[in-house]
Amino acid sequence: MVLSEGKLEATIRILEIYNGFVESLRKKGGGLVNGCERRAEEIRRQFIELRLNPVILVARSVLYPWIHHESGSSFYHHHTILVDGLVFDPNYTGRRPLPLSIYTQTAYPNQDDIALFQKQNNGYSHFLMPY
């Protein structure tokens, strides 16, 4: 399923709301912004209401304890949403979804060891993208 123009616009509006929230936290002095797992769950719920099939992605470094995001934030792991090959990341300063094929290079430009996993009810599995 490819996102229709209307659904793409709706998903971008949702992403912009969460991005604005993250930006306001960052401006208050947080380079490390907590709550990405909760935000991913909230975005997933809203995308399901749009009759989409969102998947929660988890980014982790396979070599280091922290990953360093292009936004200046650092994470032990980072939760985002994948829908139809597009990654919706509220921390991404571009404020637009990124194609999965370029997500790790764009969101983590200084790291080449990012692996993506799918979050499931019983934990993290389904290794999706090697580093």
Q: Per-residue pLDDT tens for 73-107?
A: 888 889 999 999 999 998 887 889 999 989 999 99
pLDDT of residue 10: 94
**Residue numbers of the domain that contains 76:** 5-129
Structure tokens at 17: 């709301």
Q: Closest Cα partner for 79 from 95, 98, 59? A: 59
For 118, the token pair is 């799918």
For residue 129, the cross-strand partners are 116
Alpha carbon distance 2, 24 (integer Å): 32
- The pTM score is 0.85
Q: Report the amino acid identity of residue 46.
A: Q
Strand partners, 73: none
Counted domains in the chain? 1
As a whole number of Å, the end-to-end CA separation of the chain is: 26
